[in-house]
Structure 1
Amino acid sequence: KLPNLELLDLSGNDISGSIPSSWSGIVDMFSLNLADTGLTGSVGDNLAGLKTLQLVELKLAGNQLTGALPDPWSGPQVVNLDVSRNSITGSAPGFLGNSYLRSINFAHNQISGPLPLEWTFLSYLEEVVASGNVLSGTVIPQDFTKLTSLRTLDLSYGIPTASSVPPLTFFTKLTTLENLNLAGLGYDTELDANWQDALLNLRSLNLSMNDITGGWPYGASSGTGFPSLEVLDLSGNPSFNPYINDLVDRLV
């Protein structure tokens, strides 16, 4: 027994099987990393044995977990959750009652439907990574503009149906964003002229592997540029014509 254990990192080992139910007795554990350990079985069953723990961080990435995430959420009340690179299906849970959640990463699964409206009540939410899924419907609720702590949003290669892809103009409303990844979503339009004025905090912008047309727009108040931008990826847009000198002039 390890009654005083607070942090357990077994990532990269081969433990296979499911999380033992006896782990529910490690009541002081606040961080558990079981990424890339060969876990199998239902994600709901694996989480059931952890729901009594006061975990702050839970990493189950890179395993062979199946089924849907429990909704209503019956897992531990975590702050940082990473279940990426599994075979999880169904829709994303609303996480009602998990008000301190800051980071959600379910990239590269088979999660469908929209991002839940309930997430707009997660006032501390900073990061959503949903790339490589099969999201559909109204993927991002309009009320996501209420998430004043949101810093990172990654939807790349995660919305296979063109009619479900949010218009580029929507993202100008998410003014707190620092990292935005919209790669591989099939955009075939020009960039919105207000981007440079609205997204002043943006540090990283990935619009690669789309079909964006035109050139780089001036902001509504010409010359503002992106004062915080450090990384810009526009590769794989054959119809985009940036005129490189003009692009640099507009970014500085």
Structure 2
Amino acid sequence: MFSVLPNLEILDLSHNNLIGKIPNCLPMSLSVLNLQANCFDGNIAFGFPEGCGLRNLNLHGNQMDGLLPRSLVNCRMLEVLDVGNNNISDAFPHWLESLPDLQVLVLRSNKFHGSVQSTKESPSFPKLRVLDLSSNYFVGALPVQYIENFNAMMDPHKDGGSPEYMMVWTRTRYYQYSLVVTWKGFEYELQGILIVFSSIHLSNNMFEGEIPDVIGKLSSLKGLNLSHNNLTGHIPPSLGNLTNLEWLDLSSNKLAGKIPNELVSLTQLSVLNLSNNHFVGSIPQGNQFNTFGNGSYEGNVGLCGIPLSKSCDGIGTPPSSFQEKDKLWRFDWRVVVLGYGCGVVFGLLMGYLVFRIGKPKWFVSLFDGRPSQSGRKMRKARRLVQRRR
């Protein structure tokens, strides 16, 4: 197929309904192979020869299985590798750490397994800016050896000026990279990857142990998702140094202790999820923390303070003045209704008596001003007494 296209540099067949196997021979001239969102299946059988010029390999959203081909190490210029949402079953490809220009590594939603640890002492993944290992079967501690070498994430890029995107230039045109990401809980396809964009997604695995302090050095990080693992210990105060962070999700772990006040300095943070852990004490206040609701903290019975209804003095959050006025208003109306009800009952009773036995003379004299017979007799007796005197 490709033998008649010896100079092909970009092949983008993404978002179609193509099926079957991927041809195992690719032209050496190829810089971009984008087969995202198709129905290709089987092993990634094609080999990558020495001198491979591939910069972007995107197989996201197919039905590929088997192992990740080791011959990828021959693609020394590879910048983006995305094999997310397939059925690949393999150990973590630590051999990719020798690729000097790799910036985006997406292995999410496969069957990768085992620990994620470096096998060499030299710096690994120095240019990596996007790492997505979510929804696999990784175990063990978080990859500290890799994290401390993520030099590209330690560069505090500024967002000012014209946006710059990852792309490849060919002899006739440029090609802008795309990427499927989970961002702030939603899945998006970025039609361009900003060079300032950096994120780490390790959620939905079986990582354990503590969150390493060294993550606090990744100053350009915009998203950090460590949710749904078995992490223990405290939140390191060093996370307060991630001043570009917009999304932090540590939910559904076994983290404990207090939420460090240093996190208040994360003024770019728009999404925070610390739910379903074992945090205790008062929730920090100020800056972005004044905007987060109950959902950010639910499932932590030891937490107290705003926005939760549980106050930190154990008495409960005092009602607002509006609530107090509302209670008084409801009380006043209850008194009015009670008096009105009693009056109605009394009136009905008197009407019944009048109907049954006629108008009582004392009642008539009381309301129509005419004296009753007993009243006349009493006045007549008084006049007789006065005459005798």
TM-score class, shorter-chain normalisation, is: 0.7 to 0.9
Query: Percent of aligned pairs with the same residue?
Result: 22
Q: Which of 248, 254, 257 is the equivalent residue of 1:180?
A: 248
Instruction: Give, in whole Å, the separation in 2 of the partners of 1:149 and 1:229.
Output: 23
Q: Distance in 2 between matches of 1:20 and 1:35?
A: 16
How far 1:136 moved relative to its partner?
2.1
Provide the TM-score with structure 1 as the length reference: 0.76
Partner residue of 2:371?
A: none
1:56 aligns with 2:79: yes
Higher relative contact order (CA 8 A, sep 6+): 1
Report the 3-state secondary structure (helix = DSSP H, G, I; strand = E; otherwise coil) of the residue aligned with 1:51.
Answer: helix
* Structure 1 position 136 matched with structure 2 position 198: no
Distance of 1:83 and 1:93 partners within structure 2: 15
What does residue 100 of structure 1 align with? 127
- State the 1:174 CA deviation: 3.8
Residues 169-195 of structure 1 deviation map (CA, whole Å, 9 limit, x = unaligned): 435444333321111113454433342
Counterparts of 1:42 and 1:75 in 2: how far apart (Å)?
Answer: 18
> What is aligned with 2:372?
none
CA contact (8 A) 1:62 1:85 kept: yes
Larger Rg: 2
The equivalent residue for 2:147 is 119
Return the structure number with greater helix share.
Answer: 2
Provide the residue aligned with 2:377 in structure 1: none
Aligned residues of 1:59 and 1:83 also touching (Cα < 8 A): yes
- TM-score normalized by the length of structure 2: 0.52
The residue aligned with 2:284 is 217
| Counterpart-to-counterpart distance in 2, 1:92 and 1:231 | 34
Structure 1 gap ranges (5+): 219-223, 247-252
User: One-letter code of the match for 1:205?
Assistant: L
Q: Which runs of 5+ in 2 are unaligned?
A: 11-30, 154-197, 310-389
Q: Deviations over 1:193-224 (max 9, x none)?
A: 3421x323323211233354455323xxxxx4
Distance 1:142 1:189 in 2: 16
Distance, in Å, in 1 between the alignment partners of 2:9 and 2:255 is: 52
Q: Which residue of 1 aligns with 2:157?
A: none
Q: Which residue of 1 aligns with 2:263?
A: 195
Deviation of residue 73 (structure 1)?
3.1
Question: What is the aligned partner in structure 1 of residue 342 from structure 2?
Answer: none
Question: Judging changes above 3 Å, is the alpha-carbon distance between structure 1 residues 56 and 130 closer, same or farther for their aligned structure 2 residues?
Answer: same
2:67 aligns with: 42
The correspondence for 1:91, drawn from 100, 115, 121, is: 115
1:107–1:133 contact (8 Å) kept in structure 2: yes
Q: After superposition, what is the alpha-carbon deviation per residue over 1:7-66, rounded to whole angstroms, capped at 9, x for unaligned? A: 3322222221222334548944322221121111123xx2x2322222221111111111
Pick the aligned partner of 1:79 from 96, 103, 125. 103
In structure 2, the residue matched to 1:221 is none
TM-aligned CA distance change 1:26 to 1:73, over 3 Å:
closer
Contact 1:33 1:58 in 2 (8 A): yes
